[in-house]
């Protein structure tokens, strides 16, 4: 038994951690005596990867590349391979992950199970769109190979299925061609939510990556910085030095509070506004700006923090985003790291995939108990009324009715659950 927590550090409970080896992946899961769930790098913010008092299967030992063809960009690997290692190995050979989240310290298994998205949803969709096929190990010993055409219902349940259909033991991914690690970027300050949506619409046809930071305390002002980028041809330059820093300790209280937030948001806005314009940037700081400070999640103190990430439909997005920002500004809670971006109209790969056409707002909130919960209830009501949903990969608290309303394919999904798998999230949202 050892204590485990996820990225939000809301709890740290003992888990029976069983490390999976390539042999387990071949012969079946180690003796099922109690419901268990797979654990990647614990970069989910909430309880998708947790099973307090129960068992988790740690996939860190399943970290082998099995085959890579540099002519086609097709990679077969084990599920514990880090996205970072794929980027490092493949980019020098002219290939890159088509979709990557805001951290490269996630595993392939975790990226599939949350069907993660990046800053280029309007071009490449979600991670699951680039999985050619995968091998799923069920707790009854069966191995199911599935893809969009072979056992497609298992594939659709597993992509975005938060680990509940079996353990992914192998995946084959189609990478995309790139000219190198460099991006041409542009940063544009904006003054309100309306301006954000105008910039997003204007950028979609000519820019592959779009994302924005928004000042969650600015209320009606809604000021922010819009960042867009494309892959840069014919650039050579100095790779960033691989030195990372670490947030060294857990402070007794959260360092994120109203005063520090106001100070940070002002400084961030004015500093970056002065750097507005174009530039050439390595993919690492652009895609993964937070990975350079390891354990940054400790700054929220011993009570941890939540991330609230919602998506609301395109037609209502400007108005609803403004209403949510007003509610957050009124509460005085919120984060340094508020992200607003858009998703395009694309068919979802997974039954429980999060992205759908519209705007997605993601904010971190220090855990202030009931004050935070009560803000979330107000935000839930706004999201639900607009016909939106909340991201399972970030969630630790959404009530079951909010989940059921946001995920209409739930009933279909439940048919493919593996009865030997259970997580804190599945018990909270699905009853077992
Ligand atoms: C700084 C930061 C930025 C982020 N930015 C984004 C973003 O831009 N977009 C986005 O979509 N997400 C983002 N995330 C969330 C993160 O990408 C996802 O939560 C991802 O799934 C974490 O992968 P992991 O390997 O840590 O998996 P875990 O957190 O350990 O597990 C996640 C889920 O995957 C399941 N799982 C893991 N391995 C397997 C397996 N082999 N078989 C079956 N199920 C498995 C687990 O049971 C669990 O349900 C971000 C997270 C952080 C910390």
Would you say the CB of residue 163 lies under 6 angstroms from ligand 1? yes
R_g of the chain computed on alpha carbons: 21
- Window from 253-257, 304-308, 315-319, 378-382 with minimum mean pLDDT: 253-257
Instruction: Pick the residue whose CA is nearest to atom 34 on ligand 1.
Output: 110
Q: Which residues make Cβ contacts (< 8 Å) with residue 110, sequence separation at least 6? A: 40, 41, 43, 44, 49, 116
Percentage, residues of the chain above pLDDT 70 = 98
For the CA of 118, the nearest atom of ligand 1: 8
| Buried/exposed 129-152: b ≥16 CB within 10 Å, e otherwise | bbbebbbbbbbeeeebebeeeebe
Helix, strand, coil % over all residues of the chain, rounded to 5: 30, 25, 45
For residue 126, the 8-state DSSP code is B
pTM above 0.95, yes or no: yes
177 class by beta-carbon count within 10 Å (0-12 exposed, 13-18 middle, 19+ buried): exposed
> What is the number of the ligand 1 atom nearest to the C-alpha of 111?
21
- 374 against 29, higher pLDDT: 374
| Cβ–ligand 1 contact at 311 (below 6 Å) | no
Per the model's pLDDT, the better-predicted residue between 263 and 283 turns out to be: 283
Structure confidence at residue 256 (pLDDT) = 82
Instruction: Tell me the pLDDT band of 241, cut-offs 50, 70 and 90.
Output: low
Which atom of ligand 1 is nearest to 41's Cα? 26
Distance from Cα 277 to the centre of ligand 1, integer Å: 33
Secondary structure (3-state) at 173: strand
Separation of CA 172 and ligand 1 centre (Å):
18
Ligand 1 contacts CB of residue 362 (under 6 A): no
Dmax (CA) of the chain: 59
Task: For residues 199-220, give the mean pLDDT.
Answer: 91
Q: Which of 110, 100, 125 is nearest to 45 (CA)?
A: 110
Q: Which of 48, 60, 100, 106 to mutate to test the pocket of ligand 1 (most atoms within 8 A of CB)?
A: 106
**Closest ligand 1 atom number to CA of residue 296:** 1
Residue 258: pLDDT band (50, 70, 90) is: confident
Question: Is the C-beta atom of 350 inside 6 A of ligand 1?
Answer: no
pLDDT at position 353 over 70: yes
Q: Residue 26: what pLDDT?
A: 76
- Closest-lying ligand 1 atom to the alpha carbon of residue 169: 41
Give tens-digit pLDDT for 118-140.
Answer: 999 999 999 999 999 999 999 99
Q: Whose CA is nearest to atom 48 of ligand 1?
A: 49
Measured by CA distance, the residue closest to atom 27 of ligand 1 is 110
Q: Work out the average pLDDT over 223-244.
A: 82
**pLDDT at residue 18 in the model:** 93
Q: What is the position in ligand 1's atom list of the atom closest to the CA of 290? A: 1
For residue 199, with 0-12 CB atoms within 10 Å meaning exposed, 13-18 middle and 19 or more buried, which class applies?
buried
CA of 228 to the centre of ligand 1 (A): 24
């Amino acid at each position: 038994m050892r204590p485990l927590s996820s990225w939000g550090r809301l709890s740290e409970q003992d888990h029976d951690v069983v490390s999976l080896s390539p042999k387990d992946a071949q012969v079946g899961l180690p003796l099922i005596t109690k419901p268990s769930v797979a654990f990647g790098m614990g970069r989910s913010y909430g309880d998708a990867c947790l099973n307090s008092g129960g068992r988790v299967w740690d996939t860190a030992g399943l970290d082998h590349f099995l085959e890579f063809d540099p002519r086609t960009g097709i990679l077969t690997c084990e599920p514990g391979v880090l996205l970072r290692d794929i980027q490092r190995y493949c980019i020098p050979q002219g290939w890159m992950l088509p979709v990557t989240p805001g951290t490269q310290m996630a595993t392939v298994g975790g990226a599939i199970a949350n069907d993660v998205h990046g800053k280029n949803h309007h071009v490449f969709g979600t991670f699951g769109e680039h999985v050619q096929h995968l091998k799923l190990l069920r707790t009854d010993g069966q191995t199911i190979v599935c893809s969009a055409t072979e056992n497609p219902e298992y594939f659709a349940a597993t992509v975005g299925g938060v680990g509940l259909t079996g353990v992914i033991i192998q995946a084959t991914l189609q990478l995309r061609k790139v000219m190198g690690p460099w991006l041409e970027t542009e940063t544009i300050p904006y003054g309100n939510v309306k301006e954000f949506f105008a910039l997003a619409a204007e950028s979609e046809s000519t820019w592959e990556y779009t994302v924005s930071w928004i000042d969650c305390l600015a209320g009606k002002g809604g000021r922010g910085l819009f960042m867009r980028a494309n892959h840069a041809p014919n650039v050579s330059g100095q790779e960033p030095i691989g030195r990372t820093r670490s947030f060294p300790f857990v402070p007794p209280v959260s360092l994120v509070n109203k005063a520090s937030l106001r100070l940070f948001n002002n400084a961030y806005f004015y500093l970056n506004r002065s750097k507005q314009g174009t530039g050439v940037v390595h993919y690492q700081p652009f895609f993964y700006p937070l990975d350079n400070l390891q354990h940054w999640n400790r700054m929220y103190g011993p009570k941890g923090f939540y991330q609230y990430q919602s998506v609301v439909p395109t037609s209502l997005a400007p108005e609803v985003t403004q209403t949510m920002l007003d509610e957050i500004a009124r509460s005085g809670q919120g984060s340094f790291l508020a992200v607003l971006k858009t998703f395009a109209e694309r068919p979802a790969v997974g039954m429980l995939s999060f992205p759908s056409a519209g705007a997605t707002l993601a904010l971190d909130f220090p855990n202030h108990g009931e004050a935070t919960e009560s803000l979330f209830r107000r935000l839930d009501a706004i999201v639900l009324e607009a016909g939106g949903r909340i991201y399972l990969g970030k969630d630790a608290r959404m009530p079951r009715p909010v989940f059921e309303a946001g995920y209409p394919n739930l009933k279909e999904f439940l048919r493919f659950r593996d009865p030997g798998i259970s997580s804190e999230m599945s018990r909270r949202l699905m009853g077992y």
